[in-house]
Amino acid sequence: MSEASMDRERKKIIAATKNRGKLEEIAQLLSELPYDVISMTEAGMTDDIDENGATFEENALIKARAVWKVTGETVLADDSGLEVDHLAGAPGVYSARYGGEGATDADKNIKLLAELSGVPADKRTARFVCAAALIFPDGRELVVRGTCEGYIADGPAGNNGFGYDPLFYVPAFGLTIAQMDAELKNSISHRGNALRKILDILEGGSAGSSDNS
């Protein structure tokens, strides 16, 4: 098959994000498929999207539908955050806004540590959650969920990653997410787990129904 024929067969996925790091992560995880991953901005969608859902799944679909309505292309969106069991699942869908408007990652981590002050290690269980929504040009939708289980450490450790990564300790590796290299992080992360489910669906061509597992 000629290179020109292969190029014609490639498809496009629009990632409902303006975050270059997230875009590159998605593109890397889907690289073995004949898809070119571009950002919503590159697809001509520059408006901010109001993520007002009550769950990660709702927010992922809100973003995916907003971009799909404008482009009509295959769209992939995700919403993710941290759930702490001792805090009844908080900060949850408010993870990015935890600590108030303008709060930095460090501010959010300080607030989280303050709320867990005095809580013993075995009661600091938590998980990262990622819901990924995929909409096809014909309007078919599906949603999958990926998680990563761990604990909230007593203090930050590591310089990699972002957000709550320096506080999220994974006992199986004896490291926080921020202490892991990119390859290890992607192999166990909530987003990596969710996107691998999307990869399996795209590889298998099974997109006829919604999957909320």
32 located within any domain = yes
Q: Which of 7, 47, 79, 138 is catalytic?
A: 79
Does 75 fall in a domain? yes
Task: Please indicate whether residue 79 is annotated as part of the active site.
Answer: yes
Residue 155 within any structural domain of the chain: yes
Judge whether residue 148 has pLDDT over 70: yes
Q: Is residue 209 part of a domain?
A: no
Residue 202 pLDDT exceeds 90: no
- Which pLDDT score is estimated for 205? 60
Residue 210 domain flag: no
DSSP-derived letter for residue 211 is -
Residue 89: domain span: 3-204
pLDDT of residue 211: 44
* Tally of domains in the chain: 1
Domain annotation covers residue 8:
yes
Is the CB of residue 178 less than 8 Å from the CB of residue 161?
yes
Residue 60 maps to a domain: yes
Asked if 152 contacts 87 with a C-beta cutoff of 8 angstroms, the reply is no
Mean local confidence (pLDDT), 121-138:
97
Residue 213 covered by a domain:
no
Averaged pLDDT of the chain: 89
- Contact between residue 173 and residue 183 where contact means Cβ atoms under 8 Å apart: no
pLDDT single digits (tens) 91-125: 999 998 898 888 999 999 999 999 999 999 999 99
Q: How far apart are CA 48 and CA 21, in angstroms?
A: 18
pLDDT at 3 over 80: no
pLDDT for the residue 167: 97
User: How far is residue 125's CA from residue 77's CA, in Å, rounded to a whole number?
Assistant: 27
Question: What element of type H or E holds 151?
Answer: strand 141-152
Using a pLDDT cut of 70, give the percent of the chain over it: 92
Residue from 156, 139, 149, 133 nearest 59 by CA? 133
What CATH number does the domain containing 156 carry? 3.90.950.10
